Structure formats: C-alpha cells, structure tokens
Amino acid sequence: MGKIYNRIESITGNVITVKAEGVRYNELAQINTQFGKSLAQVNKIDGDTVSLQVFAGGQGVSTGDEVRFLGQEMRVSFSEDLLGRIFNGSGEPRDKGPALTENMKPIGGPSVNPTKRILANRMMRTNIPMIDMFNTLVVSQKLPIFSISGEPYNQLLARIALQAEADVIVLGGMGLKYDDFLYFKEELSNGGALSKTVMFIHTASDPTVECMMIPDMSLAVAEQFALQDKDVLVLLTDMTNFADSMKEIAITQEQVPSNRGYPGDLYSQLASRYEKAVDFANSGSVTVLAVTTMPGDDVTHPVPDNTGYITEGQYYLKGGRIEPFGSLSRLKQNVNSKTRKDHRILMDSMIRLYSSYKETIEKKNMGFSMNRWDEKLLKYGELFENKLMDLSVNLSLEDSLDLGWQILAECFEKDETGIKSDLTDEFWPVK
C-alpha cells in the first residue's frame, strides 16, 4: 500500500503539490480533508514535487491534510451490474445502490488499431424523422449536436435514448443543472430504458475535476460493452463544459493558453474522446452523440470549431428543431442507399422544396405578392415543419417516408416535385 504524506506544499485552485518519491504519472491518491475523503490524480512530476488535481476541489484542503498514493490509475468497474445505475465523476454511486469495485478497467486507454476497424455501414434507427430520413445516424459514427443555451438539447438526447435501437445506452452528463439530471432520470425510468442505461453524472455544483473524468468513464464502459458484442450509444452533454474544465485546470497550472484561453491540446483532447467511436470487426460498436453548446451561437468558437474537424458531420438544433441545412451526417450515404429505393431522392427533393419555401417566406416578409406556386410552397413548408420536423414526432423511417409522399401529394402535382416519374408512379399516394 502507498506511503502517506502529511505535508501539502501548495494549493492553487484545484491543484495541490506534495513532496513525494516513487510516485507514478497519472497515479491516483486519496486525500483526507475535514470535509471527507477525495480522490486526486497526479498530473505533473518535477523531481520530488508532485502536482495533483483534487477531484473534490481545493476548497477546505489544509496543508496538514493526509495524502495517500494508491499506486494505480483511474479505473472503472465493469460488469452487467452497471446497467440501471448512476455514478459521479469519481465512479462513486449517485443512486442508493452499492459501490462497485469488481473487475476494474482502466479509463482513457489506447486507441483502436485502424486496421481492426470496419467501414461504418449499419444504420442506427432513432425514429426521429429529421435524423433517420434526412441525416441518418450510422453505427460507430461520432456526431455533435450543435446548439445554443436554451434549446431543448437534453430533451432531444432523452428521446434518442428512449427510441434508439441500441443495446446499451451510456449517458455522460457534464455540468448538468440538477433539474436536468432529475429530468433524465425520470424520463428514462418512465420510458423503461433505465435498465439498459448507465449514467455518469456531473452536475454544475460538483467539483470541476470530476467533470473532466466523465467522458473517459463513459467511453471506457461503452468500449467494454462493445467488446462483448453490444451496440452501445454514448450520449454526452455538454462537451463545452468539459472543454471549459480543461481550460480551468490548464490555466491553474500556468499552461500557455492558445485560443481564447483554451489549452493548445484542445483538439487532441477532444479527438481522443470522440475517436473512441468504433465499429469493431466481428464485435460490437460504440456510437457517440455529444451536445456541444456554442457560446454566442458562434460556430467558430474553439470548442465547436475543433469538434467540427473531428466529428463526422453535425446536427444543428435551432428553434427547437434539427435544422435541415446546416446539419450533415457525413456517413449517411454509406447506408441510405440500402434502406428503401425512394429514400435518397425523397430526402433531396423535400429539402430542395423546403429551401424554396424558405426563399418564399423571405419574399413574403418583404411584402411581395404571392403567386400560386408560392402558395403551394407555403402550405408545404408548414406541413413539413409540423409533421416531420417537430421533435416530438416518433415515426419509423418507412412511415416517415410514406408521410413525406403524403405531404408532397397534398401540396403538389407529381411533375412539380422534380422526382423521376418511375418513382412517383410507384410511391405517389392515391387520393
């Protein structure tokens, strides 16, 4: 068992230093403060001076507190018992269940050998038409949900958790408001999805360092499930809070900031999490959906910007809807040719007409008179927004496609849609 040290040399923010020997980089320690025990992780060694980030934060830590090194890195217990449970960023239970200590697995492990990956080619159904039909989510894809504060992104995640066709859901919450946490808990248990869900939750009032552990914990568990042939969906909210915690620690440790105060390795740090998304050859998979709030609705802010370079597309959540123009699933063409033969063409045509509708709205707002074609577009746009874009719509892909044809038929003649006639002949609903 590790040695005990009784002298803390310095305390700055959440980072303390002690004089110690034989300590390993990234090793965990336990600190006994007057407010209880907390874990801490070694993040710098300089001779015999060891810096540690304290999970529970620096508040109330005394220079005389006891520090005991545990001789191991951060790990997480893995077994089927995790399902239905809720943990914090240190891996301790947040629910009333027992602590799990068996079968400990390291977190933040090495990346997957690219030659062991397979090409993403399976669709993950979510029964949300704006995803399934227009920007299909693909198993092993990593996609952020770009959003601004105030948008119903957590509601969206909860719906995906309930409806997505995944064996296991891992939910990682970073800087969540407490009521959002309660919302997730309630929604998932009411929807009956709690039994296939593992939650790692850090709320806004919890210590910053724990926030940084959430993605690693969630993804380590997801990876283990995936190696047991499970298709795992990891939902993370909100990655901007994660980046901000990294910024906080980096600044505390006097690292040179690069862009708007974020550390220079922001890209690598985000990438090492997102790249955990994988489809293992002959085994399970990890799919990652991560909310990234954009401060000031600015997509060039370092967090969404770096994220955009890493992920395979993005969903834009705007005005309570998944916005069809900015959103893009880069992998959708890998799967949407195999669903139904009208999928691609219907997707393209409906979006094209919707974009004409947007132009018409602009014209209307400027006071121009509306001709018959404009009237048709206006009707179409409204139907499209209410029947397909609304987040509460829960329809399978096939039903959404049928509904799409119906909307078209309600507003237009066959040859006005610009769809090839052999398809309209087959799919156009009979009035």
Q: Give the interface with another protein as residue ranges (CB under 8 A).
A: 21-27, 44-48, 73, 109-120, 140, 227, 255-259, 263-265, 267-268, 271-272, 274-276, 278, 280, 300, 302, 305-306, 308-310, 312-313, 325, 328, 330-331
Nearer to another protein, 13 or 257 (CB): 257
Q: What tokens appear for 410 in the block?
A: 């309600």
CA distance 180 to 160: 15
Task: Quote the least distance from Cβ 190 to another protein, whole Å.
Answer: 36
Task: Quote the least distance from Cβ 140 to another protein, whole Å.
Answer: 8
E strand or H helix that includes residue 231: strand 231-237
Task: Quote the least distance from Cβ 419 to another protein, whole Å.
Answer: 18
Residue linked to tokens 């040719």: 337
Task: Quickly count: other Cβ atoms within 10 Å of residue 352's Cβ.
Answer: 12
Residue type present at position 188: L
Task: Quote the least distance from Cβ 191 to another protein, whole Å.
Answer: 31
Task: Quote the least distance from Cβ 23 to another protein, whole Å.
Answer: 6
Task: Quote the least distance from Cβ 5 to another protein, whole Å.
Answer: 15
Nearer to another protein, 111 or 421 (CB): 111
Q: Return all residues near 9 (Cβ < 8 A) that are at least 6 apart.
A: 16, 17, 18, 19, 49, 63
Task: Quickly count: other Cβ atoms within 10 Å of residue 298's Cβ.
Answer: 12
The β-bridge partners of 39 are 30
CA distance 152 to 189: 19
Nearer to another protein, 115 or 369 (CB): 115
- The beta strand positions in 36-79, using DSSP E, are 36-46, 49-54, 66-73, 75-77
Determine the distance from the C-alpha atom of residue 239 to the mean position of all C-alpha atoms in its chain, rounded to a whole number.
7
Nearer to another protein, 177 or 420 (CB): 420
Task: Quote the least distance from Cβ 78 to another protein, whole Å.
Answer: 15
Nearer to another protein, 113 or 365 (CB): 113
Nearer to another protein, 44 or 341 (CB): 44
Nearer to another protein, 306 or 424 (CB): 306
The β-bridge partners of 16 are 11, 52
Q: Are 137 and 123 in contact (CB under 8 A)?
A: yes
